[in-house]
């Protein structure tokens, strides 16, 4: 969970308290508060971002990913609340807003959606499993119930057959007029009433016909009775009374016969279904009761009713004991249907959820750009500072504008380069000449014979002309002074000015080094006058004129490579006497047998 270390937490609380109680130094305290809050905010924000970036959510099992994301959401919410609390405190005392990290870069809605999708998916998976398990159980139960129902039906069919058999075998006793018991049976009873029981049991059509006949007879006899009754009502005489009684008896007989044939019809109507079979027997019992009633009305006294031998009641008990599982079967089927629908619905939902889960929703908005990369020193692999563009790097090449006076510029620059080259060469020549003067050379008397340092051995000190103008070489103590050291007075006078177009050579007193100021050849050029820039040798006269006019060393002639350390008390330029070459000096010494060391001062 989100944790801010104790120290900073305490510090924040302290700052908050100070803000409350102190009105002095409030700005400072507020500034400290802001800095600390921003620090904490950035840290936590970066941790959250890092968590998203570093966690490979796609490769985690969904349960684990859900845990991670839920934890992230909790942290996000806590962080959001924390920020609000900071903002509330800050805005009490500040006029500006607290600029915290762009929390909306974390696409929390997407994260929440993903959490919801995964949760839904996992719940659906559980439900699917549960439903499928239940479905499987119910399916098995249905099979069992169906089997039971089948067994029941089979038993009922057996009972149905028994019913018929029992009817055929049914025997009983009747009381005759004398009170004697006489044998009777269902067969004989049907026969006495005009029905061939066996025949009718095997001929459904005939049975149906008899049933129709019986109904008709009842109807007819009822009509006749009604008519007779009316007659009797109208003429209540004995004759009518007798007719009425007779018709009444006939009607009862008709109904008795009807009950018999209905019983038979019912018994023949086999039904394997539990309800039907049960209802049938109840109906049979009713019909048998009716029959008995009619038999009583007709004066037939039953001692042992053969129809009791059909054992309808016993069969009812059996049927009741079998039980009816049809309702249960219906319920199971209903439940199975419901579960099947749920499973299908859940599977479809999960397919969609899975598509959403696999679609890799973005969890954060990455706004990193080149400027961020350039400004973010943490991103660079090394500690090297991101440098500015090198000054000498060509960053752009383009054509000059139409306003650019290209021709004029070319002429100008041509003149410049030519002049510079001339001056450059001139000064190098002058340097060669002037370098013969080594004002700091001292001649010491060194009375040591065979001194190798006296450069007698010419082989060691061969003068290399190409090295004579090495600007950075120490002026060798043992160098041979070039023989051609004649200084051209004119050149000297012309060049001994402060024109900086030629690198300066300063004669270093200490070590006789000629130091050359190697900085830009052109950089320190005094602006050329207009006449100087163009390639017009006649302009040379201008220089002379200027020298005369200005009479100053500061006009536009290039400096010499050296400054003449001469008597310049009045800045006058004096001639420099030619000193003997080194060879000449040495030879002179040898001739004088006086070895002298020439060394640096």
Partner 1 sequence: MELEINKIVTLGNDEEYLIVDKVEKDDREYYYIAEVNEDGTDIKDNYKIVCATYKDGDVYLDEVLGEDKLKMILPLFVKE
450 binds partner 1 (CB under 8 A): no
10 binds partner 1 (CB under 8 A): no
Here the contacts of 579-588 (C-beta below 8 Å, separation 24 or greater) are 579/436, 579/437, 579/438, 579/481, 579/485, 581/436, 581/480, 581/481, 581/482, 581/483, 581/485, 582/455, 582/479, 582/480, 582/481, 583/480, 583/481, 583/483, 585/443, 586/454, 586/455, 586/456
Q: Which of 374, 406, 443, 590 binds partner 1 (CB under 8 A)?
A: 406
521 binds partner 1 (CB under 8 A): yes
Shortest distance in whole angstroms from residue 406 CB to partner 1 = 6
Q: Cα–chain-centroid distance for residue 357? A: 10
Buried b (16+ CB within 10 A) or exposed e, 346-385: beebbeebeebbeeeeebbeeeeeeeeeeeeeeeeeeeee
Cβ proximity to partner 1: between 346 and 532 the closer is 532
393 binds partner 1 (CB under 8 A): yes
Taking the C-alpha atoms of residue 384 and residue 373, their distance in angstroms, rounded to an integer, is 14
Cβ proximity to partner 1: between 61 and 527 the closer is 527
| Nearest CA among 417, 437, 412 for reference residue 560 | 437
Taking the C-alpha atoms of residue 174 and residue 170, their distance in angstroms, rounded to an integer, is 13
173 and 306 in contact (C-beta within 8 Å)?
no
468 binds partner 1 (CB under 8 A): no
Question: Which stretch, 402-410, 477-485, 551-559, 573-581, contacts partner 1 (CB under 8 A)?
Answer: 402-410
Taking the C-alpha atoms of residue 408 and residue 411, their distance in angstroms, rounded to an integer, is 5
Q: Which of 46, 233, 279, 520 binds partner 1 (CB under 8 A)?
A: 520
Taking the C-alpha atoms of residue 563 and residue 559, their distance in angstroms, rounded to an integer, is 8
| Site residue total, partner 1 (CB under 8 A) | 45
384 binds partner 1 (CB under 8 A): no
Shortest distance in whole angstroms from residue 599 CB to partner 1 = 27
Taking the C-alpha atoms of residue 76 and residue 38, their distance in angstroms, rounded to an integer, is 16
385 binds partner 1 (CB under 8 A): no
Residue 476 neighbours by CB distance under 10 Å: 12
16 and 89 in contact (C-beta within 8 Å)?
yes
Shortest distance in whole angstroms from residue 431 CB to partner 1 = 9
Tracing tokens 């009433």 back to the chain, one arrives at 193
Q: Which of 417, 443, 473, 590 binds partner 1 (CB under 8 A)?
A: 417
470 binds partner 1 (CB under 8 A): yes
428 binds partner 1 (CB under 8 A): yes
404 binds partner 1 (CB under 8 A): yes
Cβ proximity to partner 1: between 312 and 434 the closer is 434
Q: Which of 47, 84, 191, 410 binds partner 1 (CB under 8 A)?
A: 410
Shortest distance in whole angstroms from residue 504 CB to partner 1 = 11
Shortest distance in whole angstroms from residue 498 CB to partner 1 = 17
Tracing tokens 């030879």 back to the chain, one arrives at 587
Q: Which of 229, 273, 364, 469 binds partner 1 (CB under 8 A)?
A: 469
386 binds partner 1 (CB under 8 A): no
540 binds partner 1 (CB under 8 A): no
Site string for partner 1, 471-510 (x = CB under 8 A): x-------------------------------x-------
Shortest distance in whole angstroms from residue 465 CB to partner 1 = 14
CA distances from 424 to 419, 441, 557, 576 (A): 8, 28, 12, 22
519 binds partner 1 (CB under 8 A): yes
Cβ proximity to partner 1: between 242 and 520 the closer is 520
Cβ proximity to partner 1: between 25 and 530 the closer is 530
Residue 309 gets which letter from DSSP? G
269 and 200 in contact (C-beta within 8 Å)?
no
Shortest distance in whole angstroms from residue 481 CB to partner 1 = 20
Which residues on neighbouring strands pair with residue 175, listed in sequence order?
181, 301
Q: Which of 286, 522, 544, 594 binds partner 1 (CB under 8 A)?
A: 522
The DSSP annotation for 446-461 comes to ---TT-GGG---GGGG
Residues at the site binding partner 1, with contacts judged by CB under 8 A:
388-401, 403-406, 408-410, 412-414, 416-418, 420-421, 424, 428, 469-471, 503, 516, 518-523, 525, 527-528
């Amino acid at each position: 969970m989100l944790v801010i270390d104790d120290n900073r937490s305490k510090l924040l609380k302290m700052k908050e308290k100070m803000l409350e109680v102190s009105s002095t130094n409030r700005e400072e305290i507020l500034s400290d508060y802001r800095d600390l809050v921003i620090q904490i905010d950035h840290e936590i924000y970066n941790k959250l971002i890092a968590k998203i970036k570093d966690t490979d959510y796609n490769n985690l099992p969904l349960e684990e990913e859900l845990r991670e994301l839920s934890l992230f959401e909790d942290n996000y919410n806590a962080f959001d609340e924390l920020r609000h609390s900071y903002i509330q405190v800050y805005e009490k005392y500040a006029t500006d807003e607290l600029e915290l990290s762009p929390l909306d870069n974390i696409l929390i809605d997407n994260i929440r959606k993903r959490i919801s999708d995964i949760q839904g998916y996992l719940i659906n998976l559980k439900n699917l499993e549960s439903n499928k398990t239940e479905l499987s159980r119910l399916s098995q139960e249905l099979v069992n119930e169906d089997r039971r129902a089948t067994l029941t039906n089979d038993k009922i069919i057996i009972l149905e057959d028994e019913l018929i058999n029992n009817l055929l075998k049914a025997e009983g006793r009747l009381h005759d007029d004398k009170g004697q018991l006489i044998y009777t049976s269902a067969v004989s009873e049907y026969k006495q009433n005009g029905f061939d029981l066996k025949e009718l049991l095997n001929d459904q059509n005939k049975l149906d016909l008899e049933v129709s006949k019986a109904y008709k007879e009842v109807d007819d006899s009822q009509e006749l009775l009604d008519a007779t009754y009316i007659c009797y009502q109208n003429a209540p005489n004995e004759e009518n009374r007798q007719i009425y009684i007779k018709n009444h008896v006939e009607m009862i007989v008709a109904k008795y016969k009807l009950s018999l044939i209905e019983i038979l019809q019912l018994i023949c109507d086999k039904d394997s279904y539990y309800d039907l079979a049960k209802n049938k027997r109840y109906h049979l019992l009713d019909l048998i009761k009716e029959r008995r009633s009619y038999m009583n009305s007709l004066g037939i006294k039953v001692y042992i009713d053969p129809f009791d031998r059909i054992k309808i009641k016993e069969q009812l008990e059996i049927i009741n004991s079998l039980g009816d599982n049809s309702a249960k079967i219906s319920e199971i089927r209903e439940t199975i249907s419901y579960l099947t629908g749920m499973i299908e619905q859940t599977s479809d939902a999960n397919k969609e959820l899975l598509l959403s889960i696999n679609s890799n929703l973005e969890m954060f908005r990455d706004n990193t750009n080149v400027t961020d990369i350039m400004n973010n020193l943490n991103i660079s692999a090394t500690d090297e500072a991101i440098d500015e563009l090198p000054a000498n790097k060509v960053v752009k090449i383009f054509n000059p504008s139409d306003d650019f006076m290209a021709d004029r510029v070319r002429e100008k620059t041509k003149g410049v380069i030519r002049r510079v080259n001339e001056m450059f060469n001139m000064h190098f020549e002058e340097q060669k000449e002037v370098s013969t003067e080594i004002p700091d050379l001292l001649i010491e008397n060194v009375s040591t014979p065979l001194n190798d340092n006296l450069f007698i051995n010419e082989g060691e000190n061969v003068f290399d002309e190409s090295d004579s103008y090495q600007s950075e070489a120490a002026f060798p103590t043992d160098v041979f002074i070039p023989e051609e050291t004649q200084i051209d007075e004119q050149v000297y006078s012309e060049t001994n000015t402060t024109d900086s177009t030629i690198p300066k050579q300063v004669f270093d007193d200490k070590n006789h080094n000629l130091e050359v100021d190697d900085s830009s050849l052109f950089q320190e050029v005094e602006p050329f006058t207009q006449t100087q820039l163009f390639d017009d040798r006649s302009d040379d006269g201008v220089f002379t004129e200027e020298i005369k006019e200005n009479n100053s060393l500061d006009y536009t002639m290039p400096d010499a490579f050296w400054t003449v350390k001469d008597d310049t008390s009045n800045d006058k330029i004096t001639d420099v006497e030619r000193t003997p070459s080194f060879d000449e000096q040495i030879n002179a010494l040898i001739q004088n047998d006086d070895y002298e060391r020439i060394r640096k001062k």
